[in-house]
Structure 1
Amino acid sequence: MSYIQQGTKTYKFASLALFFAGLVTFATIYTVQPLLPIFANDFGVSASVASLAVSFTTGLLALCLLVAAPLSDRFGRKRVMVLSMFMTSLIGLFTAMSPDFMTLLFLRALLGVVVAGVPAIAMTYVVEEFDPKVLGKVMGLYIAGSSIGGMSGRLLAGLFTDLFDWRIALGSIGLLALILSILFIFFLPNPKNSAEHTLAPNEILRNYTDLFFNKRLIVLISLGFILMGGFIALYNYFAFVLMEPPYELSQSFIGAIYIVYLAGTFSSIYMGRKADVFGKPAVIQVSIAIMALGAVLTLGNPLAMKLIGIIIFTFGFFGAHSIASAWVTQKAGHHNAQASSLYLLAYYLGSSIAGTIGGFFWSSFHWGGVIVFVLVLIALAYPVVWYARKN
């Protein structure tokens, strides 16, 4: 096989292309999160209904992840990723022109369908095309693009909304995504090591059926739902808190809060190393406890306490998520690709379902209700870890 070698021009361009792929995908998915209070106000809908702008996208993304990978087997890795990025960018532009909330929701749902092409395929492309000696580095660059994309999409949305309005904010991010998508076409080499073929439906079904007979693995996969559900439920409604008295913060400030994702970038590496020393079950339980501590601190009235709480919560989440995803892959054996798909399915379903349910707690019990919901949800992780760690 002919691999992309470190130090070559091809390596540099391919690595940059994958960074762009992660950035475009996750900037577009989460760019509306800090805008939920504005949607609620401008369109006259409740907080839980406004949150559907995120939930529809992540829910359909979760389901389409299972379809995107077989499509790439049939039509080619690069073709599917290119189509995904272009459609993602164009829908981002069209969303800025939404005349009403129902149109916006329709476009955000459609985004969930087309955006699945990158997260479902990018890691497979890396494994197949790059020299095995540099897989960790290249994979890290793609994940860095995803993390920075999620952070910058939220940050730019808040800044541009303050300077102009939310439509110009979404349109600007959509235009930037389109430019990066064009560069992606020229930077990413055509795959050489993945032959186009069609996987028989019964073979796909057999692979997933084997996993469902592994009860401890399936229980462990549910951690994706629990962790991401709690994370998104808290973040969806934190912006509502900060826009109310006595804080009444600007959209720029609220968008800038997502810089705390950098704490998550650090914790995913740091807690991963600790898991190698003390074991995944022990460290993931510590990470969940850190999440709970951070959530409780956001109940304090001082703004500084709330911000410290959100940093601690974010640190705990990314630590727990990185360990859980690695644990799932390790336990799955030769079905690790299918297990990773199921973990991502649970992960994004958690974002969609729990993110929306959190809105009902906000409407009925305000911020305290949201935090109780988050704490109860992440507490479910402890019996899951206990059951999964048994031999």
Structure 2
Amino acid sequence: MARFELKLPREQAILLLLVGSSLFINNYDLGIYALALPQIQASLAIPEQNVGFYTGIMRFGVLLAFPLAFMADVVGRKRLLLITIAGMTVATLLTGIAQDHVQFLILQTLARCFSYAEDMLCYVIVAEEIDPRMRGWALGRLAALGTLGYALSSLLYTQIDVLPHGWRDFYFIGAAGLVVILLARRRLQETQRFADLRAARPAIRRSFHEHLTPIFSLVRAYPGRFAALVATTAPYAFGVATALAFTSKFLQETHGYSPKEVGLLQLLGGAISILGYFAAGRLSDRLGRRAVLSVSIGLVSVLLAAFYLTGDPRLLIASWIGALFAYFASDVTLSALGSELFPTSYRSTSAAARSVINVTAAVAGLAVESAIYPLVGSHAAAIVLLLCAAPFAILPVLLFLPETAMRSLDEVSPEVHLPPTAP
């Protein structure tokens, strides 16, 4: 049994690589923006007081991602993955030639739209295709593969001063990688669960209202689960998102780190913290998703607060690496839960809804940070105040969400046949 749990069949290993490769580029793109924020801000003349607001607006690409991910429950996972990777490629390439902050904002918002939809679908596909005994393990590997994108961004960022076009070259590199993924992904097959669901549907033309069934079912079939997932996701994203977005800026402007030093620290921290994905995957299969998620949320909150409050350089580095480790663990566990709690007929829709909640709460946190920054006098003080909201996410995890580890998806979330809604 142990040997089986540590080795995926060849077909599933290929699936994991084809799906996870886009997470690699997605996280590379996010890492570049977080690291190169000071250079992008200076190049495009973004006012200091608008940095948090602009970052938040870009994250609202998730609102455009929702209909894309929702359509995966209507037309299939594979087709939507090809559409989203093509959209990401174009938006990323054009970002590299943006001439002002408005163009950059629009293009990055579009890029986030497609990348958020990609992220949602990747976790759904792995949840549907991998054996329940290995699901947490496989999702941990998927997330770890994505984190290598952060490592690449950190490595390249150390060379920002010698690249011919500065931060713009990072986006050209990302677009080239997406083209390779698009070509390789043509061999990807539809998930068996969705294929079975599609075969069971009547072969008739469906009305627009019938196409919206996954959205209606999400709220009607499991309202308690959905409410608990909202109550978990919202305070955690609200409290933590700004702290993660400002780390490079904080290190450079408060502690005097050079871009090269920030890149090396991110690379070192990421190399160590990526183990959080592996640990969370295995531990959540053995100890349960709820236990791992509760502990990791608490650790993220405490360690990020320590990062922004300490003046000790050793504690600064240790708290950052520890916070990143715990955040990776919480992220993959929450993604696993979000993919397991709802049936196949609207699993992608539920993942999209959770992402919308996550990003909306994150944007709210960024907006609040911008609002209270003038009152408290520093980004660090504003961020620590926001972090107080994050531990409240633990309560619904322990009190209201069911355990999903080591259980089949049909057992965790059977299809619920609801009476049709009025058109």
Q: If the length of structure 1 is used for normalisation, what is the TM-score?
A: 0.80
Name which of 209, 212, 228 aligns with 2:237. 228
| CA gap 1:179/1:49 in 2 versus in 1, 3 angstroms | farther
Matched, 1:304 2:305: no
What is the aligned partner in structure 2 of residue 28 from structure 1? Answer: 29
The separation in 2 between residues aligned to 1:191 and 1:201, in whole angstroms, is 19
Letter in 2 for 1:240: K
The residue number in structure 2 matching 1:49 is 50
Aligned residue in 2 for 1:267: 276
Q: Distance in 1 between matches of 2:162 and 2:244?
A: 23
Give the structure 1 partner of residue 175 of structure 2. 174
Q: Kindly provide the CA deviation profile for residues 58-107 of structure 1, in whole angstroms up to 9, marking residues without a partner as x.
A: 3222x244322342355443232122112212211111111110110011
Higher mean alpha-carbon deviation, 296-305 vs 203-212, is at 203-212
**Structure 1 residues 70 and 242: CA distance shift in structure 2, 3 A:** closer
1:213: which partner in 2? Answer: 223
CA distance in 1, matches of 2:338, 2:23: 22
CA distance in structure 2 between the partners assigned to 1:120 and 1:278 by the alignment: 25
Letter of the 1:159 partner, please give it: T
Deviation at 1:307, TM superposition (A): 1.4
Q: 1:314 aligns with which of 306, 310, 324?
A: 324
Answer whether contact 2:69 2:352 (CA < 8 A) is retained. Answer: no
Partners in 1 of 2:394 and 2:129 — Cα distance? 39
What is aligned with 2:190? 191
Cα distance change of structure 1 residues 115 and 297 upon mapping to structure 2, 3 Å threshold: closer
Answer with 364-373 or 96-105: which moved more: 364-373
Q: Which residue does the alignment assign to 2:153?
A: 154
Alignment of 1:1-391 (within 5 A): 8=10, 13-52=14-53, 54-61=55-62, 63-126=63-126, 138-149=138-149, 151-152=150-151, 154-156=153-155, 158-164=157-163, 165-185=166-186, 188-191=187-190, 193=192, 194-195=194-195, 200-210=210-220, 213-214=223-224, 217-244=226-253, 247-259=255-267, 260-270=269-279, 284-298=293-307, 299-327=309-337, 337=347, 338-362=349-373, 364=375, 365-385=377-397, 388=400
Mean Cα deviation higher: 250-259 or 126-135 = 126-135
Distance 1:47 1:36, change over 3 A: farther
Distance 1:325 1:171, change over 3 A: closer
Q: Which moved more, 1:70-79 or 1:34-43?
A: 70-79
Does 15-24 or 93-102 show the bigger shift? 15-24
CA distance in 2, matches of 1:111, 1:51: 18
Give the conservation status (yes or no) of the 8 Å contact 2:35–2:248: yes
The residue type equivalent to 2:388 in the other structure is: V
Task: Report the Cα offset of residue 210 of structure 1.
Answer: 1.7
Instruction: Give the whole-Å Cα distance in 2 for the aligned partners of 1:262 and 1:256.
Output: 10
Report sequence identity in percent: 15
Q: Which amino acid aligns with 1:25?
A: N
Q: Please, what is the CA RMSD of the aligned residues?
A: 3.6
Cα separation, 2, equivalents of 1:330 and 1:130: 12
Q: Per-residue deviation at 1:6?
A: 5.8
Q: What is the CA–CA distance in structure 2 between the aligned matches of 1:388 and 1:153, rounded to whole Å?
A: 39
Shift of 1:213: 3.3
Question: Does structure 1 retain, via aligned residues, the 8 Å contact 2:73–2:346?
Answer: no
**65-74 or 93-102, which moves further after superposition?**
65-74
Q: Which amino acid aligns with 1:34?
A: L
Mark the CA change 1:234 to 1:242 in structure 2 (over 3 Å): closer, same or farther: same
Deviation at 1:323, TM superposition (A): 4.2
| Secondary structure, counterpart of 1:98 in structure 2 | coil
> Structure 1 126/241 Cα, relative in aligned 2: closer, same or farther at 3 Å?
closer
Cα pair 1:68 1:121 within 8 Å, conserved: no
CA distance 1:264–1:65, shift in 2 (3 Å): farther
Which moves more between the two structures, 286-295 or 357-366?
Answer: 357-366
Q: Contact (CA 8 Å) 2:117, 2:352: kept in 1 or not?
A: no
Identify unmatched segments of 5+ residues in structure 1: none
Give the secondary-structure state (helix, strand or coil) at the position aligned to 1:267.
helix
1:233 to partner: Cα distance: 0.7
Contact 2:296/2:329 (<8 A) preserved: yes
